[in-house]
Amino acid sequence: MNSPTEQRVGAAFRDLVAEQPFTPDVSAIEQRARQARRRHRMVQGGIGAGVVAVAAVTAVSVASSVPATPARPAQAGGAHAVTVHPSGRSNTHASASSSASAATPQPLVQLAAVLAAEPQPKGNATLVERETTLAGQATVKVWDLYTDDGRYFFSQTESGLPAQVQEDNNQGNGIFAREIAAAEYAVTGNLDTAALKMAWAANTTPPPAWITDQVKDISAGGLQIDNYVWENSEDALTAGAGNPQVRAGVLRLVSILPGVTVTHGTVDGQPTLTLTAGAAELGGSGGAGGSSYQEATTINAETGIPLKFTGGPASGPPDTTVIWKLTRVTLADIAAGKF
Partner 1 sequence: MSRSEEEYRKFVGSRAASLHRTAYLLCGDWHLADDLVQETFVHTLRHWRRVERADNRNAYVNRILINEFKRHWRRYGRLPVRTDIDRPEVAVPDVSDEVVNRADLLRALLTLPARQRATVVLRYLEGMSERETAAVMRCSEGTVKSQTARALNTLGGCLKPKESPL
Which of 282, 270, 252, 277 has its CA nearest to residue 324?
270
Q: Which is nearer to partner 1, 96 or 218 (CB)?
A: 218
Nearer Cβ to partner 1 (3/266): 3
Q: Which residues, 6+ apart, have CB-to-CB distance to 13 below 8 Å?
A: none
Helix (H) or strand (E) holding 288: none
2 lies in the binding site for partner 1 (CB under 8 A)? no
Could you tell me which stretch among 10-18, 45-53, 118-126, 255-263 binds partner 1 (CB under 8 A)? 10-18
In this complex, which beta carbon is closest to partner 1, that of residue 26 or of residue 52? 26
Q: What angle do CA 112, 114, 120 make, to 5 degrees?
A: 95
Q: Please report, as a single letter, which amino acid is at residue 143.
A: W
Distance of CA 227 to the CA centre of its chain: 9
Q: Which stretch binds partner 1 (CB under 8 A): 12-20, 68-76, 95-103, 258-266?
A: 12-20
Residues 6+ apart with CB under 8 A from 228: 198, 199, 200, 211
Kindly state whether residue 3 participates in binding partner 1, applying the rule CB under 8 A: yes
Asked if residue 136 binds partner 1 (CB under 8 A), the reply is no
Shortest distance in whole angstroms from residue 20 CB to partner 1: 5
How buried is 270 (Cβ within 10 angstroms: 0-12 exposed, 13-18 middle, 19+ buried)? middle
Q: Is the alpha carbon torsion for 121, 204, 294, 185 positive or negative?
A: positive
- Of the candidates 2, 19, 102, 117, which one interacts with partner 1 according to CB under 8 A? 19
Select the span of 64-72, 152-160, 186-194, 268-276 touching partner 1 (CB under 8 A).
152-160
Kindly list the distances between the CA atom of residue 188 and the CA atoms of 117, 253, 261, 271, 298, in Å, as whole numbers in the listed order.
11, 11, 23, 26, 24
Does 17 help bind partner 1 (rule: CB under 8 A)? yes
**Which of 15, 78, 122, 266 touches partner 1 by CB under 8 A?**
15
- Smallest CA-to-CA distance from 262 within 44, 72, 83 is with 83
Should residue 317 be labelled a site residue for partner 1 when binding is judged by CB under 8 A? no
28 scored as a contact of partner 1 (CB under 8 A): yes
Instruction: Choose one: 62-70, 117-125, 201-209, 250-258; the region binding partner 1 (CB under 8 A).
Output: 201-209
Residues 217-276, interacting with partner 1 (CB under 8 A): 224, 231, 234
Of the candidates 56, 177, 39, 260, the residue with the CA atom closest to the CA atom of residue 252: 260
Write b or e for each residue in 300-327: b if 16 or more Cβ atoms lie within 10 A of its Cβ, otherwise e: bbebbbbbbbbbbbbeeebeebbbbebe
Residue in 115, 152, 194, 226 binding partner 1, rule: CB under 8 A? 152
Is residue 282 within 8 A of residue 227, CB to CB? The reply is yes
Q: Going residue by residue from 36 to 75, which x/- string records binding to partner 1, judged by CB under 8 A?
A: xx--------------------------------------
- Summarize as ranges the residues that interact with partner 1 (CB under 8 A): 1, 3-6, 8-26, 28-30, 32-33, 36-37, 132, 142, 144, 152, 154, 156, 171, 173, 175, 202-205, 208, 210, 224, 231, 234, 283, 286-290, 293, 295, 309, 311, 320, 322
